[in-house]
Structure formats: structure tokens, C-alpha cells
Amino acid sequence: MSTNNKSAPKRRVTVGLMWHSLGSGNLGVGALTESNIAIVRGVAEKLGLALRFVVLGTSDAGVPELAAELRAAGHELEVTRIRVFRREFREAVRRCDLVLDIGEGDSFADIYGLKRFMFYWLSKNIVCLLGKPLILSPQTIGPFDGAIARILAQQVMRRCARVFARDNLSTAYLKQLGISGNVDEAIDVAFRLPFIRPARPADGRVRVGINVSGLLFNGGYTGNNQFGLSIDYAATLRALLADLSARPEVEVHLVSHVIEPHMPIEDDVHAAKILATEFPGVILSPVFTRPSEAKSYIAGMDFFTGARMHACIAAFSTGVPVVPMAYSRKFNGLFGTLGYAHVADCKVESQVQVLKRIDDALRAREQVKQQVDVALQLVAERITRYEDVLARALVKG
């Protein structure tokens, strides 16, 4: 009598997801987390493995819908807030067979201060000291402008099983640091965030999505052009909205991607509402609770522009022509790696140049979409590279 292999219990592998978060008001961080879960899950299911995900981040908030989805597929999900100096953190790491650290996308750097850097550095070393293989999932690496941070970053990255850059600028930077033997280059995992494309109304209107960064709108945390922009960001958005609002064929949607009602300086919703009162013809997007909701909404646009990188990735990965409004090297690195030139550099270009870039791409959106589609083939190849490393690590786990 033959044995039914489907009834045989699957080997379970515990994967720690360090510096990921399901409860962040920044949907970009949530997008990284849910996307990495989707990628690892896909690899594991091809290998016939069951997974226990342990999310180790800055919040202990979970997503019940995601937990239910994973449970229905035979996987488990638990969420623990990182407290690096507490025993609970070490115990959580000990239960892991493998740890993936995404550094919240761009936080393994000292641009946010040495204290924050030290938490990221120490947590990585604890994982290595406990003998757990540590993979840095695709992310922006650096910069490390201070000598202390640079030396410490070199030390811990040499201990990692693999270091994935998400763009060629980060790879070049790693080479400058002398880190090469365990380095690979993929792409931002959020390209794999699941979404549902909405039905399109047959009214012939051109739907233009604009992500308003509350942080840039308010001049950064300092309120005084903290990021050194070459434009007045708020004035540029007002000029853009004045232009688009005067076009009867255009329907403008203000799409928020960072939802922080208790931190108005960061909150996209607050900034979008201010602009909506000045331009009453625009449409405010819903206040999203999951990054996949935002991506599904953005997928219904004909064109998109914005200063939150993961809002732009949501557009790009759904085939929507997009002009990212770059305020840091992470934009130029990511989209430049894909050979995509339709990026407005808000640290170099003037308001006239930025608005012209957006207008030119909007008018030529069909041709721009073709370039997006070509670049998405490269995205698929790069994520496959990451999946292959994960497959080998999961088999060992």
C-alpha cells in the first residue's frame, strides 16, 4: 500500500526577520516585511518546508490577516519587539535557524546618528555570537561617514553569511569598504509585495497619483530643509497641483504612504489634507492599514510621482509609469540600477527642471511604461538571485 506523502509532516524552519516591522506607520517598512515573508514563503514551499517567522522589529504589533493567511498555508508567525539588551531578544534569536536582517531598508548607516547605528550593529553581532547564520536582505548599505561607524560596520558585515545590496551604488560602496567575498546584489524586495489591481472606470480620464511626503513638506525633522533639497518641496507640489488641476482630462489622487497621526511632521495624510483644502478638486486616498492596500490603489493610476520611495516602487512594480522625486542616494541607486532615467533629483535640479521631468513623462507615459516593463524583467532576475541564496540557507536550516 503506497504512502501518501502529503500527509507526512513537513520539516519546520524558524526564520528570524530582524529590523522588520508589521506595525510601522511607514508603509514602506511594512512593505519590506510582507514582501520578504512572501519571498521566503515561496522558496520554502517549493522545497516542501514549513516556516515559523519571528519578526524582530521596533513594534510588537501584528497583522491578524497575514497571520491567518500563513496559518492556512501551514506556517506560523510571531512578532516580538526588539530590546537588544534584554534576555528575551537573545532567546528569540536562539530559536531561529536563520536570521534575515533588512535594516528597515536604509537604516544600516550613521546618517541617523551613532546611537541608532549602534543598536543595529549590536543586534547583528549578537546573532553572530549565538552562532546563527545572518543574511542582510537587500537594502541600502551606508553611508558610514564617521570613522567609528565605518570600522564597526566592516567588522560585523564580514561576519555575515551574505550581504545583499539593493542597488549598484551600495555595492560600489561595499567594495570601497573592502567587503566583497560575501556580497551580492539583488533589488528591493518590495517589488514582490502582493496586490490586487482595481477595475478601471471607463470614463477616459487620466488618473495621476501624487504621494506627498509629510516629512519633506515640513522641511524635515528640523523644519529647515534638513535634507538639503535644491527645491522648495511644498512650493513645487503646489505648482504641480495648480498645473494638473487646470487640465480637465486629469484626475489627481493624493496618496499617503506614511500614516503617523501622532507625528504630524512625518504624516503624509496631514500634509495631503492641507493641499486638498487648497485644491478642492483632488481626491484623497483612503488611510491604508496595510502596504498591499496602498499598492493596490496605486496600481489603478495611469501615472505616479512621489517622494516616498516605496510608494514609487509600488507604482513601478505594478507597471505604472512613475517619476520618483529623489531626496537621497537610495532613489538614484535603486532606479539607476534598473536603467530607469525618469527620476527627478530634488537635491540637484531646480523646480522648473523637476516639474518638466514630471510633465514630460506624463505626456509620454505609454513610452515610459514600456521602459518600466523592460526593467521589471531585470527585477525578476535579481530577486531570483536572492531566492537562490535563501533556498540554500533554508535547506541547511
Q: Residue 3: its pLDDT value, please?
A: 43
Residue 197 amino acid letter: R
Distance of alpha carbon 200 from alpha carbon 197, whole angstroms? 9
Tens digit of pLDDT per residue, the chain (397 long)? 444 445 566 899 999 999 999 988 899 999 999 999 999 999 999 999 999 999 998 888 889 999 999 999 999 999 999 898 999 999 999 999 999 999 998 889 988 889 999 999 999 999 999 999 999 999 999 999 999 999 999 999 999 999 999 999 999 999 999 999 999 999 999 999 999 999 988 898 999 999 999 999 999 888 999 889 999 999 999 999 999 999 999 999 999 999 999 899 999 999 999 999 999 999 999 999 999 999 999 999 999 999 999 999 999 999 999 999 999 888 989 999 999 999 999 999 999 999 999 999 999 999 999 999 999 999 999 999 999 999 999 998 7
Domain residue ranges in the chain: 10-185, 206-377
In Å, how far from its chain's centre is CA 338?
16
What is 10-185's CATH number, 1.10.357, 2.50.20, 3.30.420, 3.40.50? 3.40.50
Q: Residue 2: its pLDDT value, please?
A: 40
The residues near 301 (Cβ < 8 Å, ≥ 6 apart) are 207, 208, 209, 253, 315, 320
Tell me the CATH number for domain 206-377. Answer: 3.40.50.2000
Q: Residue 61: its pLDDT value, please?
A: 84
* Residue/partner pairs of 339-343 with CB below 8 Å, 24 or more apart: 339/375, 339/378, 340/316, 340/371, 340/372, 340/375, 342/368, 342/371
Residue 139 amino acid letter: Q
Coil vs helix vs strand at 13: strand
Residue of 274, 278, 288, 255 lying closest to 217 (CA atoms): 274
Q: Residue 249: its pLDDT value, please?
A: 96
User: In which element (H, E) is residue 395 found?
Assistant: helix 365-396
